[in-house]
Amino acid sequence: MRKKLLTYVKKFRRAAMLSLVVVAVLAMVPAMVFAFGPDRPTFDYNKAPVNGSTCTSADEAAHDICGSLTGPVFDSFVNTPGYGDEESFVTIAQAPDGNTNPVGDNFSHTLTAVPGQSYWLRIYVHNNANQGKNCSADHLDANGDCTQLDAGSPGIATNTHVQLAFNQGQANGQDLKAYISADNADKVWDEATLTNDANQFSLAYVPGSAVALTNGQNTTLQPLNDDIAGPNGVKLGEDFNGNVNNSGNYPGCFNFVSRIYVKVIAKAPALKVTKQAFVSGTQNEVDGKSVAPGTHVTWKVHFSNLGSDVANNVTLRDTLPQDDTFVPGTLKWYDASQNGVVQNSGNEDIFFNKGGINFGNYAALTDAEKTAGDDSADFTYQTVVGDAPNVCQITNTVFVRTTGTPETSATSTVNVSNASCTPATLLSTPVATSLPNTGPGSVLGLFAGVTAAGALFHRYFLGRRLGRRGL
């Protein structure tokens, strides 16, 4: 009896777990399915009745396409040859360096973002109104096709706009959303996504990149105004021959489909930190060299933002070498607005023991500044080399991090001329590789940070380089 009971319990547990999995999956389905909007009736290119569309009109039957018989409707066809379902009208592809022709690239709905990489966003625009609604009855031929477009005809979308929108700021995922709207048609939207689990990034529209390829001019990329990335979007119209214009009059039918391409770039900070050791008061660099016990050593940290976006909340923490003594009052900060500012004892404690000092935000260096080897900031402090037996090598490591990026580090090593040291006893100091657990507030170590705008003036102060920064 007990064995049967245990069997029933196990079966119940398995069933319960399966139910939880099913519920969880179903909960995610709406987010995956409805990545466009609004939910709307569709027209089937193969004429199968979908969402109430019966396709029984004589003129629609003559053209063998089921579209809107009453007026403009955007991107609501399914099963279209060469594209598929128009509701999902925004896709994205990588744009290799120098790529000016996006046609034929491998477009998808989600890509992994690479900081510094450009991407083409494709926006498919189709007014699904019946072709015969683009003109008056006087301009219909025997097949029911328009011989010209007549403004004011019921099938033409008026004041048509196409807009690209995305969030500002840095995140691990960015949705690029496109809107198509007109005065006499419902606004529709869809989105493509760029993600990067390891690094936060932002997006920027590339000015001058917007172009249109129409079915009427299918070999010519026609330029569009940069207003497409503005708050109202670009006004889009098309003439009978497939030439785009800014009239806002957009006719119906597959003859007038447009594929709009815009380029965006993924931007992110890129931190570089280096560390050097000098005999204090001199320019005598002693990295990898030997010094005597009692020597005052100045440790010099150079930090640079070599990326393409602002580094927010730049935080530095350091590790004191084994058997070295920190000299109070020697921790100094140099950058565009801080000319060797001495840190107080509270910040010294935070710098070495409580997760590091938040020095604020730093703009990315310009290409000219990178070529010149400029730094975003320098930090210096002094220690006195100890004389403990068998401590033959001192290793000093600094760690730097910014919001949304992994921590990076740099190490400087100095040998000690200690009588007890032989090659067999040369020791390396263990380095702390994780943040100390000092509570939720201590890691902030807030100090007066510099802003991204202020960092642009750093070149004047960075003239105080090696030999003039706390050595």
- What is the 3 state secondary structure string of the chain? CHHHHHHHHHHHHHHHHHHHHHHHHHHHHHHHHCCEECCCCCEECCCCCECCECCCCHHHHHHCCCCECCCCCECCEECECCCECCCCCEEEEEECCCCCCCCCCCCECEEECCCCCEEEEEEEECECECHHHHCCHHHECCCCCECCCCCCCCCCECCCEEEEECCCCCECEEEEEEEEEECCEEEEEEEEEEECCCCCEEEEECCCCCEEEECCCCCCCEECCHHHHCCCCEECEECCCCCEECCCCECCCHHHCEEEEEEEEEECCCEEEEEEEEECCCCCECCCCEECCCCEEEEEEEEEECCCCCECCCEEEECCCCCEEECCCCCEEECCCCEEEECCHHHHHHHHHCCCEEEECECCCCHHHHHHCCCCEEEEEEEEECCCCCCCEEEEEEEEECCCCCCEEEEEEEEECCCCCCHHHCCCCCCCCCCCCCCCCCCCCEEEEECHHHHCCHHHHCCCCCCCCCC
CATH number at residue 457: 2.60.40.10
For residue 27, being part of any structural domain is answered with: no
For residue 60, being part of any structural domain is answered with: yes
Domain limit, last residue, from 209, 235, 267:
267
User: Residue 442 — very low, low, confident or very high, per pLDDT cuts 50/70/90?
Assistant: very low
- Is residue 128 located within the same domain as residue 162? yes
Tell me what the mean pLDDT of segment 419-441 comes to.
49
CA 288/CA 413 separation, integer angstroms? 6
CA 336/CA 410 separation, integer angstroms? 22
For residue 330, being part of any structural domain is answered with: yes
- Any idea what the Cα angle at residue 216 is, between residues 121 and 135, rounded to 5°? 115
- Is residue 87 located within the same domain as residue 210? yes
Is the confidence at residue 303, as pLDDT, over 60?
Answer: yes
Is the confidence at residue 13, as pLDDT, over 70?
Answer: no
Tell me what the mean pLDDT of segment 98-104 comes to.
80
CA 121/CA 261 separation, integer angstroms? 6
- Identify the weakest region by mean pLDDT among 221-235, 284-298, 339-353, 436-450: 436-450
pLDDT value, residue 82:
86
- Identify the weakest region by mean pLDDT among 10-24, 255-269, 330-344: 10-24
For residue 426, being part of any structural domain is answered with: yes
For residue 20, being part of any structural domain is answered with: no
Tell me what the mean pLDDT of segment 348-372 comes to.
94
CA 115/CA 296 separation, integer angstroms? 41
- Is residue 395 located within the same domain as residue 317? yes
Domain limit, last residue, from 267, 288, 318:
267
Is the confidence at residue 440, as pLDDT, over 90?
Answer: no
Tell me what the mean pLDDT of segment 150-175 comes to.
96
pLDDT value, residue 471:
66
Tell me what the mean pLDDT of segment 280-304 comes to.
95
Is the confidence at residue 293, as pLDDT, over 60?
Answer: yes
pLDDT averaged over every residue in the chain: 83
Is the confidence at residue 439, as pLDDT, over 60?
Answer: no
- Is residue 208 located within the same domain as residue 262? yes
- Is residue 244 located within the same domain as residue 294? no
- Is residue 279 located within the same domain as residue 254? no
- Is residue 229 located within the same domain as residue 288? no
Is the pTM of the predicted complex or chain greater than 0.85? no
- Is residue 255 located within the same domain as residue 286? no
- Is residue 301 located within the same domain as residue 389? yes
Tell me what the mean pLDDT of segment 150-159 comes to.
95
Count up the domains in the chain and report the number: 2
User: Residue 470 — very low, low, confident or very high, per pLDDT cuts 50/70/90?
Assistant: low
pLDDT value, residue 468:
43
- Identify the weakest region by mean pLDDT among 168-172, 189-193, 415-419: 415-419
**Residue 44 is which amino acid?**
D
Is the confidence at residue 64, as pLDDT, over 70?
Answer: no
What's the Rg (C-alpha) of the chain?
32
pLDDT value, residue 321:
84
For residue 456, being part of any structural domain is answered with: yes
pLDDT value, residue 466:
36
Is the confidence at residue 432, as pLDDT, over 50?
Answer: no
Is pLDDT larger for residue 309 or for residue 13?
309
pLDDT value, residue 55:
56
Sign for the CA dihedral angle at 326, 445, 470, 273 comes to positive
pLDDT, tens only, 249-266: 999 999 999 999 999 999
- Is residue 249 located within the same domain as residue 279? no
User: Residue 56 — very low, low, confident or very high, per pLDDT cuts 50/70/90?
Assistant: low
- Identify the weakest region by mean pLDDT among 34-48, 58-72, 90-104: 58-72
Domain limit, last residue, from 232, 267, 302:
267
For residue 26, being part of any structural domain is answered with: no
Largest CA distance in the chain: 107
pLDDT value, residue 19:
45
Is the confidence at residue 416, as pLDDT, over 50?
Answer: yes
- Is residue 157 located within the same domain as residue 262? yes
User: Residue 423 — very low, low, confident or very high, per pLDDT cuts 50/70/90?
Assistant: low
For residue 11, being part of any structural domain is answered with: no
pLDDT value, residue 248:
97
**Residue 230 is which amino acid?**
G
Domain range for 397 is: 271-461
- Is residue 149 located within the same domain as residue 248? yes
Is the confidence at residue 22, as pLDDT, over 50?
Answer: no
Tell me what the mean pLDDT of segment 359-378 comes to.
93
pLDDT value, residue 35:
81
Percent of the chain past pLDDT 70, that is, above it, reads: 78
Is the confidence at residue 390, as pLDDT, over 90?
Answer: no
